[in-house]
Amino acid sequence: MNLQNKVVIVTGSSSGIGAATAVRFAKEGAKVVVNYDVNETGGGETLKEVQKFSPDSILIQTDIRNENDVNRMCDEIKAKYGRVDILINNSGFYCDEDDPDNLDAIEKTFAVDFFGQVRVTIAMRKLMDKGKIIFISSVNGKIGYGGPDTAGYSAAKAALDSYMKNLAKEVAPDILVNSIRPGRTLTRMWDGITKEHEAELMNDVATGHWVMPEEIAEGTIFLVKNDSMCGEILTIDGGMGLRIFG
């Protein structure tokens, strides 16, 4: 797929992986819908950077847990561009109280990380005749990864991976659907981490360093440009699997 003038929406693009991905698509000549929920400042900063390369890009606020919000976003995109060519489902949430016994925390996580992404996908498909859909999942979605403090998060990502596979079967060949599983990526989630904790986390990473948001963005570009990838999960984790299961 040639990305020039394609319409791409990147959910949760006010910082981190989403922001890097939005800018990367803009550099390819795509028209980018920058999306945020609560981080308006970050959304504005991403849009400013995106518009250096793609002036006809826009910013939309959306709470993907809310069906009316998602429908409003669709209406705005339809009015502006008339279509969507590429959907990058990046919005995510991690609850600090995540625990196997904390149903409230698990429900909050699923509301964004699974049901929110599914809700956006169903809505955006109405604006897609042909195109690509990429889900940003997590290595925690792999069987055996994660821990008690990521019980809900890991389960939501595993559910998302399964949903992606079955969606890919339904919508191919018109829409090709794939996922990326990032490993420990240097985003705002890790703000304030101590040097000791960082060193402990990197012990599980074969490369010995963080995955950078820009590296995940490059993965999305690869998957979208490739017209033979369908129903696949691209893992970019610095070799965590080698250390954890090696």
pLDDT in tens, 39-86: 999 999 999 999 999 999 999 999 999 999 999 999 999 999 999 999
| Active site residues per annotation | 153
The pLDDT mean for the chain works out to: 92
Just give the CATH number of 7-244: 3.40.50.720
In whole angstroms, give the CA distance from residue 56 to residue 32. 8
In whole angstroms, give the CA distance from residue 14 to residue 193. 21
**Contact of 55 with 30, CB cutoff 8 Å:** no
Residues 6 or more apart whose CB falls under 8 angstroms from that of 120 comprise: 11, 64, 70, 87, 89, 91
Q: Does the N-terminal peptide bond of residue 173 adopt cis geometry, omega within 30 degrees of 0?
A: yes
From the list 141, 171, 176, the residue with the least C-alpha distance to 159 is 141
Q: What is the pLDDT of residue 204?
A: 84
The residue type at 194: T
Domain ranges of the chain: 7-244
Lowest-pLDDT range of 95-99, 129-133, 144-148: 144-148
pTM score, whole prediction: 0.94
Query: Residue 147 region, left (φ>0) first, then alpha (ψ -120 to 50), else beta?
Result: beta
Would you tell me how many other CB atoms lie within 10 Å of the CB of residue 69?
17
Return the axis-axis angle of helices 16-27 and 40-50, rounded to nearest 10°.
Answer: 20
The pLDDT tens digits for 215-232 are: 999 999 999 999 999 999
Residue whose structure tokens are 């989630």: 189
* φ/ψ of residue 52, rounded to 5: -65, -30
Q: What is the mean predicted confidence (pLDDT) over 180-194?
A: 81
